[in-house]
A and B are shown apart, each in its own frame.
Chain A
Amino acid sequence: MKTCDNNFYNKPFEYIYVEDDCAGYAATTEHILSHFPDATLIPIHHYKDVFNRKNQNATVQRNSRQLILAVCKETWIYPGAPVCQDFGNDNFYYASLMMNCIFDCEYCYLQGMYPSGHLVVFVNIEDCFASLDSLLKEHPVYLCISFDSDLMAFENVTGYIGKWIEYCTSHPDLTVEVRTKSANFGAISHLAAPPNLILAWTLTPDYVTHNFEHKVPGLDARISAACLAIQHGYKVRLCFDPILHFPDFKSVYSDFFKYVFDHISPHSIKDVSFGEFRVSCDYIKKMRKLRPASLVLQYPYDTSTGVATYDADLSKTLTDYIYQEISLYVPSDKIYIWKGDNTND
């Protein structure tokens, strides 16, 4: 037992809850567990017995996050949500291979979506590929696989992006986007880049990282990872999302875009997207309760449409300004804006 109160919490993943059915997927389960040789393993019947417990406090749990290994027996592939950017793609879907993210961003909708701060990894990724095989027989698919987590950040443990790269190579009708804030590109740098896999880095100004993103790599680390991915032939997308309003936002974002495009050539990227802060009203109620002192969450957003976001005037000011700034570096046909109706300007 440690004596310092700040260290009284267990380290992350000192406990791993393992669903009984994971025994049927021994290779992946054992691969993941091999990264945590000192963890206490607690057998469970169903991941929801831990993940969906009543009254969990994700804010406190984030001090000592635990891992739950489970078998997904339900739907793998979901239609993309209206609050997500489809980049002009038809047949926009997302898949949840993991639930929750090792990073801790105050504005993240996952806090409102999930009842727990712990992470779930589904070990039966082959079943996800089987679901996708069926869907791909019907039509091409644009699939985001890292919305409800950050797969890149956990790649050393799961190896899942590596498996997706392999799957993409043999399924040209599929386009996969891997959204990340991680600097962990090194985990997949040895793998040949398939043309239908997009690595999408979410970049935020230092002001936002410093104030609202915890345990997240800084801007320079993310930029370096994105540059390295470009050098290795990967298609890279930059996502400036969420755009937040704060004092001096104009100068902060102006300096930020200059810095980003001084370091990443606009010609080397596939495209960019941006979108203002938006979270469903149900989620923000939960998020505000979990983080009562968070400035970004306690801002009095307009909730009249069922989505908490800036009011129409401020939204227009933000969107126009950010678009104008990005346009200084990136041609307009490469800029995607989330406006609530998924239009591309």
Chain B
Amino acid sequence: MIVILTALRFEATPFIKHYSLKRDSSYKRNELYRNNDNSILLLVTRSGKLPSAISLTEFLTTYKLTPYDHLINVGICGTSATDNIGSVYLCNRILDHDTAKYYYPDMLYSHNFSEAGIETFSVPVNESMTTKESLVDMESSALFVAGSTFLSPHQMHFLKIPSDMLEPDKVSKNDVNTLILDSVPIVTEWIDHLVSLSNAETSAYGFPTSLFPEEQKLFDTISESLRLSVTMKEQLLQLFIYHKLIHGDLSDIDFCPPIGNVTNQKRKILFEDLRQQFLQ
């Protein structure tokens, strides 16, 4: 699953159209859009550090992402260099202006974007302010910090399109729309690669270490009838996982609950017998 994050609705519009995303009306506090197979979602986080962090946190507590899912923050930003305007940048480091702390998204995936560092401010940045990085915005560091609670640094990507030379008041909605629209082909080509990779890796590495309902039932039956301790339950779970890895399932495991009282000594013997059966 790929989740596109934009601060503003009009930054989102070109991607909503491109991927034919539909509004999820059950998601109330922010605008959330999704495509038919749920491989691409788009969340409008609102602008600013706190609102965007809150929106992302709410989303990530609602949707449990896997290690093969990705967040992509796409949006306009300011720049200190004229020739940056209109290009798409993948940010390789993020400076939080208020705390002077740097954050580093993992740069694992190939791309055709330019790269730069970005500095996140709590207020709109104008020419009178000093910046340390060539790009500036109002969300990146907050999204990275909020996302890091739930996700790995390889799952968060920051694509920024400079719209102004630290003169945010001079940028119109139309300017933004044009810049984003121009970036859609290159951005969506990259997103499509990430979708393919995410799907391939989920099926290749997503071995379920949790138990299916019938396996859970067997686990509970064994645990209760043998009155297993917490440690023994952990050992039993590991036996389940190992046996499933070797044989694919647990269909050959034969367990008959013992009749009568299970003494500690008997429990130990029965558990060892069971262990040997799982290791076959």
* A residues with CB within 8 A of B: 1-3, 5, 7-10, 14-15, 17, 40, 42, 44-45, 49-50, 53-57, 59-61, 63-64, 66, 288, 292-293, 295, 298-300
Chain B residues, Cβ within 8 Å of A45: 102
- Chain B residues within 8 Å of A64, by CB: 107-109
Decide if B241 is an interface residue (CB 8 Å cutoff).
yes
Interchain CB contact under 8 A, A53 and B153 = yes
B207 closest partner in A (C-beta):
A293
A60 touches B154 (CB 8 A): yes
- Given A60-B67, A293-B205: A300 in contact with B242 (beta carbons within 8 A): yes
Quote the shortest CB–CB distance from B243 to chain A (angstroms): 9
Chain B residues close to A by CB (< 8 Å):
67-68, 92-93, 102, 104, 106-112, 115, 148-154, 189-190, 193-194, 196-197, 200-201, 205, 207-209, 235, 238-239, 241-242, 245-246, 275, 278-279
Chain B residues whose CB sits within 8 angstroms of the CB of A15 once the complex forms: 92, 107
Which chain A positions have C-beta within 8 A of B238?
298, 300
Q: Is the CB of A295 within 8 A of B104?
A: no
In the assembly, what is the distance between CA of A45 and CA of B101, in Å? Answer: 10
9 A-B contacts, Cβ less than 8 Å apart? A3-B193, A9-B108, A15-B107, A40-B92, A60-B67, A288-B209, A292-B205, A293-B205, A295-B246
Q: In whole angstroms, what is the CA distance A50 to B92 when docked?
A: 12
**A293 contacts which chain B residues (CB < 8 A)?**
205, 207, 245
Min CB–CB distance A28 → chain B (angstroms) = 23
Most buried by B among A17, A45, A56, A298: A298
Count, A-B residue pairs, CB within 8 A: 102
Q: How far is the CA of A59 from the CA of B207 in the complex (A)?
A: 14
Asked if B152 contacts A60 (CB within 8 A), the reply is yes
With A293-B207, A295-B245 in contact, is A56–B106 under 8 Å at CB?
Answer: yes
Q: Beyond A292-B205, A300-B275, is A60–B108 a contact (Cβ under 8 Å)?
A: yes
Please give the distance in Å from B105's CB to the nearest CB on chain A.
9
Neighbouring A residues of B108 by C-beta, 8 Å: 9-10, 60-61, 63-64
Within the complex, which residue of A66, A295, A300 is in contact with B279, where a contact is CB–CB below 8 Å? A300
B213 CB to closest chain A CB (Å) equals: 19
Looking at the assembled complex, report how far the CB atom of B95 sits from the nearest CB atom of chain A, in whole angstroms. 11
Chain B residues closer than 8 Å to A1, beta-carbon distance: 110-112, 189-190, 193
B278 x A300 contact (CB < 8 A): yes
Per DSSP, chain A at the interface is loop
When distances are taken between beta carbons in the complex, the residues of chain A under 8 Å from B115 are: 40
Closest to A45 in B: B102
**Given A293-B245, A300-B275, is A59 in contact with B110 using a C-beta cutoff of 8 Å?**
no
Contacts A1-B111, A2-B110, A59-B67 given; 9 further ones with Cβ under 8 A? A9-B109, A9-B110, A44-B93, A53-B153, A55-B150, A64-B107, A292-B241, A293-B205, A300-B275
Whether A49 touches B104, Cβ cut-off 8 Å, given contacts A8-B197, A57-B67, A300-B235, is yes
Q: Report the separation of the CA atoms of residues A315 and B151 in the bound assembly, to the nearest whole angstrom.
A: 39
- Contact A42 to B148, CB < 8 A, known contacts A295-B245, A300-B279: no
A11 to chain B minimum Cβ distance, whole angstroms, is: 8
Give the 3 A-B residue pairs with the shortest CB-CB distance, closest first.
Answer: A293-B207, A64-B108, A300-B238
* Residues of A with C-beta under 8 A to B107: 10, 14-15, 40, 64, 66
Chain A CB within 10 Å, residue with most, of B110, B205, B208: B110
A5 touches B154 (CB 8 A): no
Q: Which residues of A contact B245 (CB under 8 A)?
A: 293, 295, 298
Q: A49 CA to B153 CA in the complex, in Å?
A: 12
Complex CA gap A300/B68 in Å reads: 27
* Closest B residue, CB atoms, query A247: B246
Q: Tell me the minimal C-beta distance from A58 to chain B in angstroms.
A: 9
B107, B190, B279: most-surrounded residue (chain A CB, <10 A): B107
* A57 CB contacts on chain B under 8 angstroms: 67, 152, 154
Nearest A residue to B198 via CB reads A5
Residue of B nearest to A49 (CB): B102
Whole-angstrom CA separation of A66 from B193 in the bound complex: 21
Chain A residues with Cβ under 8 A from B110's Cβ? 1-2, 7-10
Chain B nearest Cβ from A52, distance in angstroms = 11
Expressed in whole angstroms, the Cα–Cα distance for A216 and B275 within the complex equals 34
Could you tell me the distance between the alpha carbons of A21 and B91 in the complex, rounded to whole angstroms? 23
**Measured CA separation A312–B160 after assembly (Å):** 58
A9 shortest CB reach to chain B, Å: 6
Q: How far is the CB of A161 from chain B (nearest CB, A)?
A: 29
B275 touches A8 (CB 8 A): no
Residues of A within 8 A of B201 (CB): 60
Which B residues are CB-close (under 8 A) to A298?
Answer: 238, 241-242, 245
Whose C-beta in chain A lies nearest to the C-beta of B152? A57
Q: Measured between alpha carbons, how far is A44 from B92 in the docked complex, in Å? A: 11
The answer to whether B197 touches A56 (Cβ under 8 A) is no
**B154/A61 in contact, CB under 8 A:** yes
Considering residues B68, B92, B153, B209, which has the most beta carbons from chain A within 10 angstroms of its beta carbon? B153
Minimum CB–CB distance from A60 to chain B (whole Å) comes to: 5
B173 to chain A: closest CB distance in Å? Answer: 30
The answer to whether A50 touches B104, judged by C-beta atoms less than 8 angstroms apart, is: yes
